A and B are shown apart, each in its own frame.
Chain A
Amino acid sequence: MAADNKDVDKLLRGEYRHGFVTDIESDTVPPGLDEDVIKLISRKKEEPAFMLEWRLNAYRHWLTMKEPQWAHLHHQPIDYQDISYYSAPKSKKDGPKSLADVDPKLLETYEKLGVPLHERAALAGVAVDAVFDSVSVATTFREKLAEAGVIFCPFSEAVKNHPALVEQYLGSVVPYSDNFFATLNSAVFTDGSFVYIPKGVRCPMELSTYFRINASKTGQFERTLIVADEGAYVSYLEGCTAPMRDENQLHAAVVELVALKDAQIKYSTVQNWYPGDAEGKGGIYNFVTKRGECRGERSKISWTQVETGSAITWKYPSCVLKGDHSVGEFYSVAVANNYQQADTGTKMLHIGKNTRSTIVSKGISAGHGQNSYRGLVKVAAGAEDARNYTQCDSLLMGDKCGAHTFPYMEAKNPTARVEHEATTSKISDDQLFYCRSRGIDPEDAVNMIVNGFCKDVFKELPMEFAVEAQRLLAVTLEGAVG
């Protein structure tokens, strides 16, 4: 089949468009990790004592842990002492108070990325928090959100201004001892977003955070916490990009979601970290822990992710369905092109009665990419009438890539209904020729085929981002047509 798919191969040589570096003065601590570095981070952030203690507990626990090896991933060992754990753009002492205080170069960076921070130019109805290296540089629409009682701010600000909320919920879904990367994050996380939606409030706009790694030799460790109080609703989107660098950079984030009774959280990700070049050099190592807890009755958490970037993706956005009648959803498109590797999926833990979960995973492998779906559906003994439906589809482009599926199921209650469907298909030169012989350009043909494959996931994204995701996928998989 090798000769058969040269057209497909040719179409796969895309280019990364966000690979520029912003030349900006940074305050970066030297590489290395010990208790002093953690104390320094905590001091720079002017954190209350409980935070420092939590960080140090995490760090001491981390020292006893080993990197997990079970994923279907291969990479050079990560030297944790060669990473800088804090980098921030140098700016006026207390950091920007409003957009007017933000370094114009930073604003320019986000403009280039297509993230409009100027409120008047912002996408209608989307509030944006922008995190540049380790710190949050701008959050838009804050006043309008405050009117509704919604708190949407950089994590470091929440620690200062809403310590009680942070102390109550931080680590309540992903404890600091959870896993190697989450524990590291707990020790050194520098910023991220904090969201609190009060009882009965429907957040009046989409909330969104854009993460950008800029400095070299730094890791990015952000932490996001979203709490939807009883009856509240919020839709949240995160986007991520990084410059092209030859070295691998570590990104180890934690996201915790808490949905109380009748609350709904919709969390969408468009992840486009630098994937490395066509030979597999450089790129982001993306080791992320995302988990949501449906704590109350009839609560609902929905994860949608479009993962096109990173050299390595290791993430399993999960739902703990504690409340009776609670609902968990996971919709995923993961792309592994060139030498990218993705090991991603979800965990659905059914604990409450009549809990339901849906998993739709679409893996696209191209070039030498390796794409694995790894998912766990667990039904606890007390979870009467739990239901799960899993659909897992793989699309192969070319013949040097791989698709793997690792579904795990544990049902401890006899009333559980767990369904799993899986398919594997291929874009062949025959399909390309068929489309071309109907007058369709080869890039458009690949696009059409890939988008058709991803349709079930894209329809879960907020409208503007569905368009962005389609565009991104096109860029990731195509580009130069010879």
Chain B
Amino acid sequence: MLEIKNLHARVDGKEILKGLNLTVNAGEVHAVMGPNGSGKSTLAHILAGRDGYQVTDGSVRYEGKDLLALSPEERAREGVFLAFQYPVEIPGVNNVYLLKAALNAARKQRGEDELDAMDFLALVKAKMQFMEMDPSFLNRAVNEGFSGGEKKRNEILQMLVLEPKLVLLDETDSGLDIDALKVVAKGVNKLRDPKRAFVMVTHYQRLLDHVVPDQVHVLADGRVVKSGGKELALELEKRGYDWLKGAAA
């Protein structure tokens, strides 16, 4: 589903990714771990199409297409979803309004009819209940005045509504208490499916206790320096990252 080959990328002239390779098949959950500054978030942002990164070499193919040639909105409509580490506040715009516009953009792309207000509300309310969110969320402005945990829950809610094919989770576990973490994990697990893939960028093992990955990759200095099964995350938890540094050389 996703094939990243020899990806090099710069931010403000500084090379962050230095030949990253990663292949993710449908149905798989991959965890990308690594120390601060290793390029984890950069990877997530490049895949979602954020401005400000120059890809200098390499390729990213998504379902056979050149992902980097698509605009952010095209990627989203093709089924790529980024759950943000720091979801932005948009005052005055209702959550429900943004969500409806997003869903209908995706449906239009798939050649489906736009959902009317009634059907849409029924759908969202069911998902909100699942995410243990108060219905008043819908009529609040997007992320405005939300606590850190509420913002992350809201990201997962959007994911559940949009049902993307490739989900990128950028440190979704950061800043969550254990109850919120469980709810977020429940949302992710609910969407695990043979036709869907996940790339979870995270610092910590604790999310992986709840969302068990098929593969774990360690990123250091802009490259994948080690890949393994879920046991690798446990080993990292014990030994830290230092023993892997330089492994790629």
Contacts and interface: CB of A to CB of B under 8 A. Distances in A.
B51 A429 contact: yes
A455 B84 CA distance: 27
Nearest to B97: A448
B166 to A, nearest CB: 12
A444 B50 contact: no
Among B71, B76, B87, the one with the most A-chain Cβ atoms within 10 Å of its Cβ is B76
Among A6, A425, A433, the one with the most B-chain Cβ atoms within 10 Å of its Cβ is A433
A76 interface: no
A442 B91 contact: no
Contacts of A7: 51
A440 B106 CA distance: 9
Contacts of A3: 52
A442 B72 CA distance: 10
A455 B91 CA distance: 11
B46 to A, nearest CB: 12
Given A433-B51, A434-B84, A439 B94 contact: no
B208 interface: no
A80 to B, nearest CB: 42
B77 interface: yes
A452 B84 contact: no
Contact of A439 (B52, B87, B106, B141): B106
Question: What range describes how many residues of A lie at the interface?
Answer: 20 to 34
Interface string A418-459: 000000010011110111111111101000110111110000
A319 B71 CA distance: 50
Contact of A431 (B48, B50, B90, B106): B90
Given A7-B51, A439-B77, A444-B101, A452 B72 contact: no
Interface in B84-112: 84, 87-88, 90-94, 97-98, 101-102, 105-106, 109
Interface residues of B, number: 31
B192 to A, nearest CB: 22
Contacts of A429: 51
A363 B50 CA distance: 29
Nearest to B105: A439
A449 B77 contact: no
A452 B77 contact: no
A428 B51 contact: no
Given A7-B51, A449-B93, A431 B72 contact: no
A431 B76 contact: no
A433 B76 contact: no
B73 interface: yes
Contacts of A449: 90, 92-93
Contact of B76 (A6, A438, A451): A438
Nearest to B102: A438
B72 A436 contact: yes
Nearest to B80: A437
Nearest to A427: B90
A425 to B, nearest CB: 6
Given A7-B51, A429-B51, A440 B90 contact: no
Given A433-B51, A448-B98, A438 B90 contact: no
A455 B139 CA distance: 13
The majority secondary structure among interface residues of chain A is: helix
A453 B91 contact: yes
A357 to B, nearest CB: 23
Given A435-B98, A437-B82, A448-B97, A455 B92 contact: yes
A428 B73 contact: no
B92 A439 contact: no
B72 A437 contact: yes
B19 to A, nearest CB: 26
B222 interface: no
A3 B12 CA distance: 11
Among B72, B141, B162, the one with the most A-chain Cβ atoms within 10 Å of its Cβ is B72
Among A3, A437, A454, the one with the most B-chain Cβ atoms within 10 Å of its Cβ is A437
A431 B88 contact: yes
Contacts of B76: 436-440
B49 interface: yes
Contacts of B105: 438-441
Contact of A436 (B52, B71, B84, B93): B71
B102 A439 contact: yes
A136 B154 CA distance: 55
A440 B87 CA distance: 16
A431 B84 CA distance: 12
A440 B101 contact: yes
Nearest to A454: B92
B172 interface: no
B205 interface: no
Contact of A452 (B51, B81, B87, B94): B94
Contact of B101 (A431, A433, A442, A448): A448
Among A3, A430, A436, the one with the most B-chain Cβ atoms within 10 Å of its Cβ is A436
Contacts of B98: 435, 438, 440, 448
A278 to B, nearest CB: 23
B202 interface: no
A452 B91 CA distance: 7
A430 B106 CA distance: 21
A474 B53 CA distance: 29
Contact of A434 (B90, B101, B106, B162): B90
A12 to B, nearest CB: 17
Give me the 8 closest cross-chain CB pairs, A-B, nearest first: A452-B92, A439-B76, A439-B105, A452-B93, A438-B102, A436-B72, A430-B88, A453-B92
17 contacts: A7-B51, A429-B51, A431-B90, A434-B87, A434-B88, A434-B90, A436-B72, A436-B73, A437-B72, A437-B75, A437-B82, A439-B105, A440-B98, A440-B102, A441-B105, A444-B101, A448-B101
Interface of B: 48-52, 71-73, 75-77, 81-82, 84, 87-88, 90-94, 97-98, 101-102, 105-106, 109, 141, 158, 162
Given A430-B88, A437-B50, A448-B98, 14 more contacts: A7-B51, A433-B50, A433-B51, A434-B84, A436-B76, A437-B49, A437-B82, A438-B101, A439-B73, A439-B105, A439-B162, A440-B98, A452-B90, A452-B94
